[in-house]
């Protein structure tokens, strides 16, 4: 059997999703999901038929939402599929490279490894901003440059001046992909407005985070129609299941928008409340500023906090194994009640000498 497996697959560490890590608890604050759910009605007629390759109504709704033409949008199975599709479409093993800037989202690396594509990592500066000089210096054979904005797991926005600098400096045959999975938590910082000027710019969006629909697996890639059409050659024939497009259309309807944007507002209020309560605790070394629905916190001893919270029913995300994130945990912002309980647990853990 061993002979069956290519070496790059045998040595592959798959993406360590919150679900795969498999920790259980009452309060799931480990996957940056929304704590709010909605009631969505579905029409299950027509399940005997294949769905549209790109469901028209959904395209129209998303195109209205972004004020971007339909020909510039590709619907994918979550933005994870878009990350993968880009590599499959544009990269040739042993010839092309991809680049990203750790600490960042792990899927860029996992996908590149699956296709045996060489990876260039340019670590961020201590501020978690991009090291633009190093990026430009090593860009020569890079086909895809992945930038996560706001960045996961650090929560910060990338300086727009750095993005502009890179768009000007990288060769036109290098695609700059800005992963905006969390952008709805700080909408005015989107790079969508740059699409007209830079035909090598690609933006990734998802319904998994701010829209609270991680369960349906629906993402969007936005780019020049030339790029979208090339990607359509490689995308699976029926990538969007009928129930998925129906739920997504529903979520993007006018009457749901106020609900969604109200939920975003609540999450941001909960976040700022949580930060204000926790910042001065003695076992917290640093609360990093966040433009997302999660916060990165440096503790005196993150392992003891992680284990203690797990016992209290809170599952959070350990980031302490990553370079420059020693003793850091990433905590998703849940409901106000969850924030209050979390603050209380941390406080009790400290007063009882556990953390």
In the complex, the residues that contact ligand PLP under the rule CB under 6 A are: 32, 78-80, 105, 148, 152, 179, 181, 206, 208, 214, 219
114 phi and psi angles, rounded to 5 deg:
-60, -40
- For the residues of 69-97, what is the DSSP string, one character each? -GGGEEEESHHHHHHHHHHHHH--TTT-E
| Rounded CA separation 47/245 (Å) | 12
- Which CB sits closer to ligand PLP, 219 or 239? 219
Region for residue 217 given its phi and psi (left: phi exceeds 0; alpha: psi -120 to 50; beta: otherwise) = left
Helix (H) or strand (E) holding 262: helix 254-278
Minimum distance, C-beta of residue 333 to ligand PLP, in the bound complex (Å): 14
Minimum distance, C-beta of residue 314 to ligand PLP, in the bound complex (Å): 20
Contact 331, 295 (CB under 8 A): yes
Minimum distance, C-beta of residue 78 to ligand PLP, in the bound complex (Å): 3
Structure tokens at 161: 């001046």
- Which CB sits closer to ligand PLP, 78 or 334? 78
Minimum distance, C-beta of residue 335 to ligand PLP, in the bound complex (Å): 20
Residue 222 pairs with which residues in a beta bridge? 73, 203
- Which CB sits closer to ligand PLP, 124 or 345? 124
- Which CB sits closer to ligand PLP, 150 or 349? 150
| CA dihedral over 118, 107, 328, 307, signed as positive or negative | negative
| Rounded CA separation 180/105 (Å) | 11
- Which CB sits closer to ligand PLP, 192 or 355? 192
Minimum distance, C-beta of residue 205 to ligand PLP, in the bound complex (Å): 8
| Rounded CA separation 24/44 (Å) | 33
| CA dihedral over 336, 338, 342, 345, signed as positive or negative | positive
The distance of Cα 111 from the centroid of its chain, to the nearest Å, equals 14
- Which CB sits closer to ligand PLP, 17 or 26? 17
Structure tokens at 170: 């990288």
- Which CB sits closer to ligand PLP, 174 or 221? 221
| Rounded CA separation 34/332 (Å) | 9
The distance of Cα 219 from the centroid of its chain, to the nearest Å, equals 11
Minimum distance, C-beta of residue 135 to ligand PLP, in the bound complex (Å): 18
Minimum distance, C-beta of residue 80 to ligand PLP, in the bound complex (Å): 3
Minimum distance, C-beta of residue 105 to ligand PLP, in the bound complex (Å): 4
Closest C-alpha to 292, from 159, 178, 182: 182
Structure tokens at 205: 């969006």
- Which CB sits closer to ligand PLP, 32 or 246? 32
| Rounded CA separation 331/194 (Å) | 31
Minimum distance, C-beta of residue 109 to ligand PLP, in the bound complex (Å): 12
- Which CB sits closer to ligand PLP, 30 or 345? 30
| CA dihedral over 60, 66, 67, 70, signed as positive or negative | negative
């Amino acid at each position: 059997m061993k002979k069956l497996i290519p070496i790059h697959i045998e040595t592959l560490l798959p993406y360590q999703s919150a679900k795969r890590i498999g920790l259980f608890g009452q309060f799931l604050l480990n996957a940056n999901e929304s704590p709010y759910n909605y009631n969505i009605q579905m029409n299950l007629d027509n399940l005997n038929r294949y769905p549209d390759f790109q469901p028209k109504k959904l395209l129209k709704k998303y195109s209205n939402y972004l004020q971007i033409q339909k020909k510039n949008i590709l619907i994918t199975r979550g933005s994870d599929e878009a990350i993968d599709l880009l590599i499959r479409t544009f990269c040739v093993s042993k010839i092309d490279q991809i680049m990203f800037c750790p600490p960042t989202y792990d899927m860029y690396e996992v996908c590149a490894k699956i296709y045996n594509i060489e990876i260039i990592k340019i670590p961020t500066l201590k501020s978690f901003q991009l090291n633009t000089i190093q990026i430009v210096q090593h860009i020569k054979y890079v086909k895809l440059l992945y930038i996560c904005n706001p960045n996961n797991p650090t929560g910060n926005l990338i300086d727009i001046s750095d993005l502009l600098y890179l768009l000007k400096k990288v060769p036109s045959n290098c695609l700059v992909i800005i992963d905006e999975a969390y952008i709805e938590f700080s909408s005015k910082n989107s790079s969508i407005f740059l699409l007209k000027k830079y035909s090598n710019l690609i933006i990734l969006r998802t319904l998994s985070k701010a829209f609270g629909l991680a369960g349906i697996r629906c993402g969007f890639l936005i780019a020049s129609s030339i790029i979208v059409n090339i990607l359509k050659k490689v995308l699976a024939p029926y990538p969007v299941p009928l129930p998925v497009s129906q739920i997504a259309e529903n979520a993007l309807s006018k009457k749901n928008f106020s609900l969604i944007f109200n939920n975003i507002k609540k999450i941001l209020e909960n976040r700022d409340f949580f930060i204000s309560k926790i910042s001065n605790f003695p076992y917290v070394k640093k609360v990093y500023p966040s433009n997302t629905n999660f916060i990165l916190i440096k503790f005196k001893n993150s392992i003891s906090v992680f284990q203690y919270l797990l016992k209290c029913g809170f599952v959070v995300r350990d980031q302490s194994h990553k370079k420059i994130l020693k003793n850091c945990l990433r905590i998703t912002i849940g409901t106000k009640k969850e924030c209050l309980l979390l603050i209380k647990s941390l406080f009790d853990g400290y007063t009882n000498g556990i953390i």
